[in-house]
Copies of this chain bind each other. A is one copy, B any other.
């Protein structure tokens, strides 16, 4: 579809992942380049108020050199098994957002991936050939290291946080909550649970990425989430899959 649209001279907004095949992604990117149209990939979380602010602080040098980046990204409940079977698996349908996030926050490329994963939530996910819980250890070109912490189920709601440690400081992001109301009773002090899932949590970021897409067309500028930004997370995801299968770290070209 990207190739057809590019050939028709249309600007393209494409959800992630572009494809599970690197060859097919590359063909799409080539067609886009040849046609001179714009391609923006749907990594909406870059437009989230919290994560945008984290990147700003890092780029402003507020924490010095990035040493450790940790992304916690857990869904409130697993998807239907039918979806799991065709989604490309945890690393390509879910972690792919987090692979983009670590590139976005560190401004650096991943050079090595080690996956520590298991089936801890739902056995049917294992039967479908996937894992549901994963800790992915990363090395970056700039020397930083990091972890992505995924689970298909956090019963308290959508758990979407990042932490960054740098040479001059650290940054943490807690979950967005629907209200700031705290109820104290004789048995507990009770705060709001995180917003339930991606529609509640990321609504504004979907609007913002669309506005950005229109802006780059109107102003004839480069999309801030480009074709290469769509390719790289798939490469990392395939490496994470391989590491999960072999139990060994996998190197990337960076």
Contact = CB atoms under 8 A, between A and B. Distances in A.
A39 to B, nearest CB: 29
A53 to B, nearest CB: 5
A107 B182 CA distance: 20
Contact of A176 (B67, B120, B180): B180
B190 A189 contact: yes
Nearest to A50: B179
A62 B155 contact: no
Contact of A74 (B139, B165, B191): B165
Contacts of A189: 156, 177, 190-194
Given A114-B249, A137-B114, A145-B133, A188 B179 contact: no
Contacts of A95: none
Interface stretch (A19-27, A146-154, A234-242): A146-154
A3 interface: no
A170 B179 CA distance: 16
B116 A138 contact: yes
A141 to B, nearest CB: 12
Given A147-B135, A191-B191, A247-B249, A165 B154 contact: yes
B135 A154 contact: no
A186 B116 contact: no
Contacts of A171: 181-184
B167 A184 contact: no
A49 B249 contact: no
A40 interface: no
A248 interface: yes
30 contacts: A49-B179, A50-B181, A57-B183, A62-B185, A70-B149, A74-B165, A114-B116, A114-B137, A135-B145, A155-B167, A155-B168, A155-B169, A155-B170, A155-B185, A156-B169, A156-B170, A156-B186, A168-B185, A169-B183, A169-B184, A172-B182, A173-B180, A173-B181, A174-B180, A177-B189, A188-B193, A189-B190, A189-B193, A190-B190, A247-B249
